[in-house]
Structure 1
């Protein structure tokens, strides 16, 4: 007998895309897959060196809480990056993860109780959204509540405007910053308002910050940074400034290490403690060599700066071919383009048929919102992960074909 709740999970976007294109031969068999956000830049050399040097440690069971070296490296990076004074983050605030997707899905089991305000709990999420957000809700017997993130609200969900009866039922709330796929940035003021709302209505707010190190001009703010600002302004608990707040980050995008499966959750030590306890039963701790390589990656910024420079050059290319068309906006963060082409499915089929270019229909990343409208239906998402030699001709073809 299968768990009937699984039927409520949204269909994952990529199988839907493959089905959409299954009856079409690609116009160019050597075309480009611009649908999957898999970084293509070089892996830092020192990572392979460390994995090889520490290979003897693969015979040991690794600690669920991470090594002391890993904890110090992650806490140190968070302090430097988000202006958090030393001493506010330690091992009790951290959870190592086998990729952020694992944690973003599992956080629901930690933070969602059976009932909230006497009803089935709600999980707030931006719409479009990263699919594990919905999985976190449904897997923990809650209901996803999709809040449209569209051009008229800066592509950031307006959680403050939600009815009080919705907020009373809310157990968990996701903020993706920088936003995927739109590339918009949440300000510190926006993040502080979300934290106040979470504490007023006693729900947990999650900052998904996996794209935080890929940005153009403005440095993205962090939700833990917003917590510290609130304390400085006389709000919040000085003993636990991260009350009801956690963030997720990863080496996948920052360091081009998607296959290393190395990420973390940080924030409220009460939530982190329960999360570690859960992972004792069903988590997959990082192997000791991976902890060592990850610690070195979090301590090194040189490769991150070089990585960011490469993405900015790709933003330049995108602007060259797409400016003034499809509501193009140079991404403030992340490496996705969110193009308004009128009909995302039709454009996806046409690009595949004429050029062998794969993009993702925006509707597959979203669901009908509270107004019944799917905010992604007119869009396509494409990713700027390939080298400029491949990317430039593909962008030129997209501009011509559409």
Structure 2
């Protein structure tokens, strides 16, 4: 077996299962899960209709490069959304959702034989983080290094924690904007800093932007391609952006997204994917064209999330340290010190046992780095269910904290 597999850590939801294995949730209350970030809003009818009408396309093998009509639809969406012009033949590549591509990209760009005398290749990511980043680093033969989130800056990653010696060994930087779990969006000045570091040390930047269409203010979140264009980097050198329809269009089971950016990186990535056998289902491609070409269902989806966050955030803010994120569908809340001693794991157990609400301990989404685990003492709540269900869950959390404090 590949010995690098031994470096992989259990996924957060496996750790959660073990944490609560002896818990019997309160049977008097219906279960409500805020633990998994799986969209629950209905999938758009136009996408389902196109998918059903495209089943005859299953008779043909799909090309790794994807259908030209899909690449064009993705490029057109980027133009409408970010004002960025892409060559759909060279700068866009359909993928089976951003998760698959985030992992595979590291296998494409990392050279594990480089810098061995200085400790080997490094992959930098924010902390807390999407665990695929860490697994991709390990299985590419690199070492993951983490930049902790900074609560003073709405939980944006503190890239200044990475020293120059580490940046000099870095071959890939994962950025998540809007972030998971705290929803922070990188501003233009921060992109300028990261691009300068990439120019100095030659690493690729992979910008994970799967939450970009769920936001709560009038101005849409800045994307990496848009930032590059505004900074005069129209060749998008060493920059790739990954996004998907999962959150935007409520179709996580469709497994459809795309990667865009540096044509040279995408050429190598397409070669890897050709051997990896990861071409997108042709019916899925045609349904994806319909989804990327339609914005009405996205506006409706965003309005539903805004309603939930408008109702839930003030309720929870009365008893917890929690704030509206820049974007995304998570709330990142601190457990009060006078409840379970501020422990995210103990509060998770208490909440499930007494109020039948499932959340995810924040410490499971992070690693100890620079002397701390930046997720410790926090919980992640995914507001993916309906408005009424999320509001009911919030009230139960308020009741749980209030009751515990009164003892």
- Whether these two folds match at TM > 0.5 is yes
1:95 to 93, 96, 103: 93
1:3-402 alignment runs, 5 A limit: 3-28=2-27, 30-84=30-84, 86=85, 88-117=86-115, 118-119=117-118, 120-217=120-217, 218-231=219-232, 236=233, 241-341=235-335, 342-369=342-369, 371-402=370-401
Q: Secondary structure at the match of 2:325?
A: coil
Contact 1:315 1:331 in 2 (8 A): no
Taking the aligned partners of 2:144 and 2:209, their CA distance within structure 1 comes to: 20
**CA deviation digits over 1:326-377, x for unaligned, max 9?**
21101220000111002100110001100111100000000001x2211111
Shift of 1:116: 4.0
Contact 1:128 1:375 in 2 (8 A): yes
Instruction: Tell me how large the CA RMSD over aligned residues is.
Output: 1.3
Contact 1:116 1:168 in 2 (8 A): no
Q: Secondary structure at the match of 2:156?
A: coil
Number of positions where the alignment pairs a residue of Structure 1 with one of Structure 2: 391
Taking the aligned partners of 2:277 and 2:248, their CA distance within structure 1 comes to: 23
Q: Secondary structure at the match of 1:243?
A: coil
Shift of 1:319: 2.2
Taking the aligned partners of 1:17 and 1:96, their CA distance within structure 2 comes to: 33
Q: Secondary structure at the match of 1:149?
A: strand
Shift of 1:324: 4.0
Write out the 4+ residue segments of structure 1 that deviate beyond 4 Å after TM superposition.
none
Shift of 1:31: 1.4
Which is worse superposed, 47-56 or 108-117? Answer: 108-117
Partner of 2:339: none
Taking the aligned partners of 1:30 and 1:3, their CA distance within structure 2 comes to: 43
Taking the aligned partners of 2:183 and 2:166, their CA distance within structure 1 comes to: 27
Shift of 1:388: 1.3
Taking the aligned partners of 2:30 and 2:321, their CA distance within structure 1 comes to: 28
**CA deviation digits over 1:131-169, x for unaligned, max 9?**
000011001000000111130343122224521101101
Taking the aligned partners of 2:258 and 2:203, their CA distance within structure 1 comes to: 21
Gaps of 5+ in 1: none
TM-score (norm 1): 0.95
